[in-house]
Chains A and B, each alone.
Chain A
Amino acid sequence: MKNIFSLLKLTLLTIILFAVIYPLAIYGIAQFAPNHGKGETISVNGKVVGYQKIGQKFDKSNYFWGRPSAVDYNAAGSAGSNKGPSNAEYLALVQKRIDTFMIVHPYLKKSEIPSDMVTASGSGLDPNISPEGALIQVKRVAKERKLAEDKVKALVESKINTAVVGPETVNVLELNVALDQLSKKGSEILSR
């Protein structure tokens, strides 16, 4: 019996050390991190429009689109599709995504579509697409926004994150925020 009490006391003390003191210490350190450890946000005109790291749904034709998502970009949860590579139902869904993509972007060849644009991400909240995934949408977005194609293309190229190691990425939210600004500037020039 004495032994059990010893073990309970040991458990209590280790709980205090590892589940109270340790997280509080990290909490304290995180106060010096960007946005005090609450996740970095992106604001437009002082209003938060999203988290920099969390992908969001873009399905309007005047925006660049992100990847398909198994949770429809609902960031209250997260999940992948968990479909196996040989699942017939899943392959039919991919085929449907390709067909839809081709209807909206009739100027493309199928082989120009990178696979990340027709497959769901692991988290369902992937904030990025590949540079190719963004570049193939330039023509559509430029037309919808009545912007010069080369200007939109230059915008995409300025938003490509290159790294010393690892894949190149484009953050869809950041790109679309910049796109909104470009449109605004364009309409200001027109109205002048």
Chain B
Amino acid sequence: MNTELFGVISIFIISIVLAIPIGKYIAKVYLGDKTFLDPIFNPIEKFIFKISGINSTEEMNWKQHLKALLSINMIWFFLCFFVLLFQGSLFLNPDNNPSMSPDLAFNTAISFVVNCNLQHYSGESGVSYLSQMFLMFLQFVSAGVGMAAAAMIFTAMKERTTDKLGNFYDYFIKSCTRILLPLSVIVATVLAFSGTPMDFDSKDSITTLQGDHVDVSRGPAAAFIAIKHIGTNGGGFFGANSAHPLENPTYFTNGIELWAQLIIPFAMIFALGFYLKKKKLSYVIFGVMTVGFLLLVVPTVMSEMNGNPAIEKMGIAQTTGAMEGKEVRFGPAISGFWSIATTVISTGSVNSMHDSSMPVSGAMELLAMMVNAFYGGCGVGILNFYIFIILAVFISGLMVGRTPEFLGKKIEAREVKIAAFIAILHPLLILSGTALASYFAAHDTAMGYWFSGNATGWLNNPGHHGFSEMLYEYTSSAANNGSGFEGLGDNNPFWNITTGIVLLLSRFIPIVGPLAIAGLLANKKYIPESAGTLKTDTSIFGVMVFAVIAIIAALSFFPALALGPLAEYFTLK
């Protein structure tokens, strides 16, 4: 038991320590400084830009960034949609898996384009190897897009007045080739040597020791699982995601996969400090995020290690903790830690089934996605946190009677309006989606085209937990997370289409907002720091940001949490 806690703590600390040099490297990449990988990637990138006819040195303003970002995402969506729709008759499909229904293809294509990886299918039977490879491509580029957006914000935060904010394509390609690719190669290699398959063969047929016949799914998994974590995508190669023994074979690979999903979100925050030469600011941000993260992790790990009181009542000792939906090789401690790491960051891969988590853990997992700003996904984590910084600057500026300023730029009505809109959008999407689904479930409505049968049919658990299943699905979509209370019957037009819409809105609007704010601020006159400046790199300001986050999340989500996991907690004795 103690070695399990030791495992959790050491992975966390190793990730933080390694994030500092990698953050320095990321800052160098975006600054265009020399790095040791230049000899490999300079020619490759030059070749790509030359063939595509894109001038990667031309500086763009924030609107041009957005236009480039949105158009290329549109192209990816349509390509992916058609691949999934016709995968059954295309090549690289040794298991003869069928094509997707239009609504499922719609949901899946959006979900991978927006870095969410909500999966309403199972990898073994729902997609061909061609689709897996295409989805893997999206795992690279969707993470690259998030990082490119963050890089534009970094540029905009510099102490100068300009509308020239670097080149989108340059940031995007460099994020993919120089950051995501090398890390993925390392992780994929480790996984391949630890027992994760990397082949293109169909299912293997074997006779077991006891004499049963069974088919075993395999495939090009190692490459896929590496980028799924490095890019904080989270979509599993197999149905059970990283709980599957081929996707995550040992305690050691579990540590590697945890590290892989934590490293870029951690490193991006340090990269900000190196990029702006304001290390203190990045320490304050990292500190706030870490406090929030620990507040979620500790209760989760404790409640999972304590086990299920209802099963304890039957006379079964809970010395090994709550094991429903968990794997013996991981145990409850690291599974609890993973469940928060994956929800705080927008990975959404799972190594245990969250639907079977204890109520307290379920509440923490939900809260992690509701806040959606502690560390956060590849690049977009910083974007979400940026919104809260703007709000905190504004509120504390009002409180002390000083003009709200952030990094020498005045925050005015327009920026605050955008920030407030983004902050409200998240609860709005989650709660209205949940309200809609709960309404149907409460009335057990016959759903017609939208769902075969009555609405309660999509629930896998009754009562409060059933409500949590619906709440979780929309929260996960709005946080672009992709994990689920997977008992929910979600492969049907109702869930595919409603979550698809939530996914789209909650990915692109929270990118548009921060980019717009940063672009507007960059264009303003730079005011040098004076005695009247509100300092943003102090622990007091850190507390302020934390308070803003806590108030927004607590006020908007507490009623929903009370109806779901909290109510379940009090009934489970």
Contact = CB atoms under 8 A, between A and B. Distances in A.
A39 B72 contact: no
B251 A14 contact: no
A125 interface: yes
Contacts, number: 362
Given A18-B136, A166-B251, A10 B317 contact: no
A78 B246 CA distance: 11
Contact of A86 (B76, B181, B193, B571): B571
Interface stretch (A45-53, A139-147, A148-156): A45-53
Contacts of B133: 19-20, 23
Interface string B39-71: 000001001100111100000000000000001
Given A17-B44, A39-B195, A48-B206, A53 B246 contact: yes
Given A18-B140, A18-B176, A165-B10, A121 B214 contact: no
Given A14-B140, A76-B125, A167-B4, A121 B326 contact: yes
Interface of B: 3-4, 6-7, 10, 44, 47-48, 51-54, 71-72, 75-76, 79, 122, 124-125, 133-134, 136-137, 140-141, 169, 173, 176-177, 181, 184-185, 188-189, 192-193, 195, 197-201, 203-204, 206-210, 212, 214-218, 220, 222-224, 226-227, 238-240, 243-246, 249, 251, 307-308, 310-311, 314-331, 334, 350-353, 355-359, 460-465, 468, 485-487, 568, 571-572
Contact of A83 (B198, B227, B243, B355): B355
Contacts of A88: 462
Contact of A110 (B6, B79, B316): B316
Considering residues B137, B227, B462, which has the most beta carbons from chain A within 10 angstroms of its beta carbon?
B137
Given A30-B222, A163-B251, A121 B315 contact: no
Contacts of B568: 84-86
A137 interface: no
A169 interface: yes
Interface in A1-50: 2-11, 13-15, 17-20, 22-23, 25-27, 29-30, 32-34, 36-40, 44, 47-50
A178 B236 CA distance: 33
Contact of A18 (B137, B317, B350, B487): B137
A37 B224 CA distance: 14
A192 to B, nearest CB: 26
Contacts of A80: 240, 243, 324-325, 352-353, 355-356, 486
A84 B355 contact: yes
Interface of A: 2-11, 13-15, 17-20, 22-23, 25-27, 29-30, 32-34, 36-40, 44, 47-60, 63, 67, 73-91, 94-95, 98, 110-116, 118-130, 132, 163-167, 169, 173, 176-177, 180
- Specify which of B7, B51, B324, B325 lies most central, judged by the most chain A CB atoms within 10 Å of its CB: B324
27 contacts: A2-B53, A4-B71, A10-B169, A15-B134, A23-B223, A26-B226, A38-B204, A50-B208, A63-B209, A76-B203, A80-B355, A82-B353, A84-B356, A85-B568, A86-B359, A110-B314, A110-B316, A113-B317, A115-B307, A115-B319, A115-B321, A119-B322, A121-B243, A128-B329, A166-B330, A166-B331, A167-B330
Nearest to B354: A82
Contacts of B193: 32-34
A38 B198 CA distance: 6
B216 A75 contact: yes
- Which 3 interchain pairs have the tightest Cβ spacing? A82-B487, A122-B243, A84-B465
Contact of A11 (B79, B184, B209, B325): B79
A120 B324 contact: yes
Contacts of B317: 111-115
A83 B460 contact: yes
A74 B197 CA distance: 18
Contacts of A50: 206, 208-209
Given A80-B240, A118-B316, 8 more contacts: A10-B72, A54-B216, A77-B125, A81-B324, A82-B485, A83-B356, A115-B322, A119-B311
